[in-house]
């Protein structure tokens, strides 16, 4: 099972402000800002060298990110791993005591690729993104 780091997710209260501050540190925006209505968030991907960070800001009080921010602002809260198959990776990780936190669903911010969230007590939340099978 090969897992490759795809991005690190950051919960931020204000997307535009976070982008401006990260840009001051040398990061550049690598995707158009996407609104994800299902998850009630706005998302931007930024890049510095080989590192990719996903900035995630809530668009509603009921967004899961609102709860995340209540625990601390601007915090990295997940590492996303790219895998060949979500089903295969999930089966493997379940043998390692990870539990499914959010079932596979399409992510508009990542070109409608499928993502899934899992959880383990020591690591916290991880995200899996499936490789693009269209090209």
Q: Which is nearer to Ni ion, 95 or 129 (CB)?
A: 129
By rule CB under 5 A, what count of residues binds Ni ion? 4
**β-bridge mates for residue 118, sequence order:** 100, 126
- Residue 54 in the binding site for Ni ion (CB under 5 A): yes
Question: DSSP state, 16?
Answer: H
Residues 11-50 that bind Ni ion (CB under 5 A): none
Residues 71-130 that bind Ni ion (CB under 5 A): 80, 127
CA distance 51 to 96: 27
- Cα distances (Å, whole numbers) of residue 15 to 43, 58, 59: 8, 9, 10
**Closest by alpha carbon to 78, among 98, 95, 59, 54?**
54
CB of 54 to Ni ion, least distance (A): 4
Which part of the chain contacts Ni ion (CB under 5 A), choosing from 23-31, 44-52, 53-61, 91-99? 53-61
Q: Which is nearer to Ni ion, 44 or 95 (CB)?
A: 44
Helices (H) and strands (E) in the chain, counts: 3, 9
- Residue 9 in the binding site for Ni ion (CB under 5 A): yes
**Which residues bind to Ni ion, rule: CB under 5 A?**
9, 54, 80, 127
């Amino acid at each position: 099972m090969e897992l490759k780091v795809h991005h690190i997710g950051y919960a931020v209260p204000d997307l535009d402000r976070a982008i401006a501050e990260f840009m001051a540190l040398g990061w550049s925006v690598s995707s158009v800002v996407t609104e994800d209505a299902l998850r009630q968030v706005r998302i931007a991907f930024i890049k510095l060298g080989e590192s990719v960070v996903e900035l995630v800001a809530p668009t509603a009080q009921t967004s899961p990110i609102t709860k995340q921010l209540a625990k601390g602002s601007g915090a990295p809260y997940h590492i996303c791993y790219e895998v060949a198959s979500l089903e295969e990776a999930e089966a493997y990780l379940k043998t390692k005591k990870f539990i499914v936190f959010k079932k596979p669903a399409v992510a508009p911010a990542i070109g409608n690729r499928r993502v899934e969230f899992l959880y383990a007590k020591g690591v916290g939340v991880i995200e899996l993104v499936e490789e693009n099978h269209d090209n």
